[in-house]
Structure 1
């Protein structure tokens, strides 16, 4: 009878892990769809809206700084 409780516990653990994985995956896909990561084109548009004339060097510097910040 004890082995039955252990088996049910292991199966519940596996099912919980699988369900949690798929819920987390769906959440991240929805989040990235609604909030895409910033790219060079978006950065260029933001700089132009702020009244700056973006050069490729400045864009590259800002992208490197943002990637470094995200890495921490």
Structure 2
């Protein structure tokens, strides 16, 4: 009878640890991506030039603001 309890506690602790680890890792990655966005203004300018567009500073700021708003909404 005590062996069953040991196994149940071990399985419960394993499940709780996996769930807790997942949420901690998710929170860490969300904060990391908010502080270090994957695309910056220079990358955006290069991308627009490769697509054949002449990027203005106003257009780049507008696109960055739009991407930041999308990140905040998620």
What is the TM-score with the length of structure 2 in the denominator?
A: 0.54
Unaligned runs of 5+ in 2: none
Match of 1:67 in 2: 68
Greater displacement, 12-21 / 62-71? 12-21
Alpha-carbon RMSD:
3.1
Which structure 1 segments of 5+ residues have no match? none
Q: 1:41 to 1:17 in 2, by over 3 A?
A: farther
Q: 1:6 & 1:40 partners in 2: Cα distance?
A: 57
The answer for the alignment partner of 2:14 in structure 1 is 15
Superposition misfits of 4+ residues, deviation over 6 angstroms = none
Counterpart CA distance in 2 for 1:41 and 1:17 is 43
- Describe how 1:1-72 pairs up with structure 2 within 5 A: 1=1, 4-19=3-18, 21=21, 25=25, 37-72=38-73
Q: Deviations over 1:2-39 (max 9, x none)?
A: x65344223212223435637xx5xxx8xx9xxx8222
Matched length: 61
